[in-house]
Structure 1
Amino acid sequence: MSNIQLAANLLRLRTDHEYTQTQIGAKLNISRQAYSNYETGKRIPDLDILIRIADLYHVTLEQLILQPCTGAGVVNENTGPYYIGMEVESADTIYLSKEEVELLSHYRNADEDDRKLTRKVLKM
């Protein structure tokens, strides 16, 4: 049985991060076709693969499987890990521009040396 929300989130996260199916397959040590089957809902990844995908995109399993990833560019500081696509209507929600979301996404995908350099440049 297919998890439609999971399939939609996998496609959205991959395209938002500008990865190809081949690149994701290599990162997960699976074939492009196997990953394609997850995105189309033909197959559901096992728990180990789901955990690795969640780690790759810095989201929780719940966010990956259950919550819609709409690409709205809304980030809630208090619920982390941060991810694109979930709107939370409360006083602690910060609305980011597309550029800010892109910068945050690049920072989150950077290695530790690049993160340190970024913090140094921003005098954090």
Structure 2
Amino acid sequence: MKGMKDMKNVKKPQILIYWGDILRKARLSRNLTQKEIADVLHISRQTYSSFETGRSHPTPELIAILSNIYDINLFDLVLKYMPDEYVAEQHEFKYSIPSSPNITTKKPSKIRRKPDIIFPDKIDLDE
């Protein structure tokens, strides 16, 4: 498949360094230390340092917390600050994948529940 071959050309270390640069700049702009951020995240300073240097990357949960700490919108992190050539490559790959007839984009049907059963106002202990 053509799209899969193209994805193999993505250089992950460059992307990790890109994320690291954003984290470092955001931290320094707020005059925070790596230790202060690591303490909030409940990780070691060395682990946080590895995010900034591109040796590893934070989990999605940590990315969400970091975006809140640094007051950076996740959408902005992903698209606005990402290098244009990487965004273009992802966009091209997405549209090179043939759509599957088994996958629909319809909204899921609403699940009908009786609210009084799930969230009772009163619990009758005599029953």
Cross-structure match for 1:47: 60
- What amino acid does structure 2 have at the position aligned with 1:34? T
- Name stretches of at least 5 consecutive residues in structure 2 with no aligned partner: 1-11, 83-127
- Match for 1:5: what amino acid? Y
Task: State the TM-score, normalized to the length of structure 1.
Answer: 0.51
Q: 2:31 aligns with which of 18, 24, 47?
A: 18
Q: What fraction of aligned residue pairs are identical, expressed as a percent?
A: 30
Deviation at 1:66, TM superposition (A): 4.1
Matches within 5 A, 1:105-116: none
Greater Rg by CA: 2
Helix, strand or coil at the partner of 1:6: helix
- Gap runs ≥5 in structure 1: 70-124
Query: Counterpart in 2 of 1:31?
Result: 44
Q: Distance in 1 between matches of 2:74 and 2:57?
A: 13
Q: What is the alpha-carbon root mean square deviation over aligned residues?
A: 1.8
Q: Distance in 1 between matches of 2:27 and 2:77?
A: 12
2:116 corresponds in structure 1 to: none
Aligned residues: 69
Q: TM-score, normalised by structure 2?
A: 0.50
| Cα distance in 2, alignment partners of residues 65 and 12 from structure 1 | 16
Relative contact order higher in (CA < 8 Å, ≥ 6 apart): 2
Q: Which structure 2 residues correspond to residues 1-124 of structure 1 after superposition, within 5 A?
A: 1-2=12-13, 3=15, 4-68=17-81
Higher strand fraction (1 or 2): 1
Q: Structure 1 CA distance, aligned partners of 2:73 and 2:25?
A: 15
Q: Which amino acid letter does the alignment assign opposite residue 19 of structure 1?
A: L
